[in-house]
Amino acid sequence: MEIILKQDIVNLGHADDIVDVKDGYARNYLIPRGYAVMADESNKKMHEENKRQRAHKEAKLKEEAEALAEQIKGKEIKIGAKTSSAGKIFGSVNTIQIAEALQKKGFDIDRKKISIDGDAIKEAGTYKAKISLHREVTVEIEFEVFSE
């Protein structure tokens, strides 16, 4: 079944994408929750008109995201964590701590836009994370987890 997404859905697509999904997923989950609408002829025409009108706004948002990505690229992020004598972290470092560290540097980024490469971070060291600022703009940052 073809549907038009109203918002970004992880591992499916971005807002305004036309995607093909299984009927049950569309009818029982996406459409009732308002995440998507069926892609019939009238909805497709409306979708194209809305897309054309939003093209200018989208270009401006992309430029802002690229500017923010350039500012974030050179920043050093350090996250303190309580560790054992062997360097193991009590608990783990996740996207919430990265978002808080970025906020201290003056960047207000939602934690849901941050993804950490690999599994949970349970040792001190240097790691990489990806920040999706826009559907076409992703920046990779390095951050250091140190023992407090």
Picking from 117, 103, 113, the residue whose alpha carbon sits closest to that of residue 135 is 113
Same domain? 42 vs 82: no
Domain range holding 138? 70-147
Q: What is the pLDDT of residue 53?
A: 83
Q: Is 83 found in the same domain as 32?
A: no
> Are 98 and 79 spatial neighbours (Cβ–Cβ below 8 Å)?
yes
Q: Are residues 61 and 20 in the same domain?
A: yes
What is the per-residue pLDDT across 32-59, written as a single tens digit (0 to 9) for each?
Answer: 999 999 999 999 999 888 888 888 888 8
Domain boundary among 47, 68, 89: 68
pLDDT tens column, 54-99: 888 888 888 998 988 888 887 888 888 888 888 788 888 888 889 9
Computed over every residue of the chain, the mean pLDDT equals 88
